[in-house]
Amino acid sequence: MAAGRVRRLAAQLEARPVAGELAPLAGKVAIVTGASSGVGAALSRRLAERGCSVVVNFSKSADDAAKVAEGCAASGAQVLLCQADVATDAGCEKLVAETVKRFGRVDFLVNNAGTTKFVHHGDLEGLNSADFRRIYDLNAIGAFNMIRLCAPHMRKAGGGRVVNVSSVAGAYHTVGSSVAYLMSKAALNALTAVMAKVLGPEIVVNAVCPGFIEGRWLREGMGPDLYDYVKDRLETSIPMKAVATPDKVAATILMLLEASETQITGQCIVCDGGMGLMRGPS
């Protein structure tokens, strides 16, 4: 039933008119992976509000993704709803091919899709090789494949921008949901730097490294008691006295996509409310 609803919605979205030319990102095309909820959903809506054509990618959460696409379309934006598992080569190829078929170009890529397994760092038996491969396939290799496939289309369009959604786990190396997760995000940060070096100046590549993000994903992974404890502790200790929300992280990503006159590339922008400042002596 969900699949039928998604197909009907996709047909309706394809018939939508282009957003008004006065919108600041009108004419641009953005792919947002993992856009069915959280940061990806919030960013998709913000892009649509600015007149950007948005590709709402999802792997399994069809109903949630359909709601995001409907919200984007309500802003007057053109929207492509695309189911593709970007942890696989075939999924990445499908997503880019369908984007180019529909819109004829790619301007922005946001590698937001990610996964983890919540395992205490000291539990060395809690992760196996299959866990590492699953997490790396999506968090690091999938991001590389999406950049590889989008880069020629960005050059053809006159340039482009990539934002990888990483984590403070990849920046600080001793925090995060598991050892496999923090290693995959450290790899994503390294990918950000090298891609900025080899793809510039036509293509700008940066990453954002959020800290604790309020929402269902962390609550389900951590469990409600630990989630509430950590959230309350951060909100009384970090300089901003508030944890991030998906919309706040989306605002940081949007800043990087819109900042065409800056010299920022190859950077991993930490947006943790100052959590990292609390790691050393006060």
User: What's the rounded mean pLDDT across residues 46-67?
Assistant: 97
pLDDT at 163 over 80: yes
- Report the pLDDT value the prediction gives residue 80, as an integer from 0 to 100: 98
Quickly list DSSP for 164-185: EE--HHHHHSS-SS-HHHHHHH
User: What's the rounded mean pLDDT across residues 215-229?
Assistant: 91
Average per-residue pLDDT for the chain: 92
- Report the pLDDT value the prediction gives residue 282, as an integer from 0 to 100: 45
| The one-letter amino acid at 122 | G
User: What's the rounded mean pLDDT across residues 153-166?
Assistant: 98
Burial of 95 (0-12, 13-18, 19+ CB in 10 A): buried
Is residue 136 annotated as a catalytic residue, yes or no?
A: no
How does residue 12 score in pLDDT terms, banded at 50, 70 and 90? low
Note the maximum CA span of the chain.
58
Out of 136, 181, 227, 229, the active site residue is: 181
Which homologous superfamily does the CATH classification assign to the domain defined by 2-274?
Answer: NAD(P)-binding Rossmann-like Domain (3.40.50.720)
Reported as a single tens digit per residue, the pLDDT across 229-269 is: 999 999 999 999 999 999 999 999 999 999 877 899 999 99
- Report the pLDDT value the prediction gives residue 215, as an integer from 0 to 100: 87
- Report the pLDDT value the prediction gives residue 23, as an integer from 0 to 100: 59
pLDDT at 19 over 70: no
Q: How far apart are CA 2 and CA 58, in angstroms?
A: 13
- Report the pLDDT value the prediction gives residue 7, as an integer from 0 to 100: 64
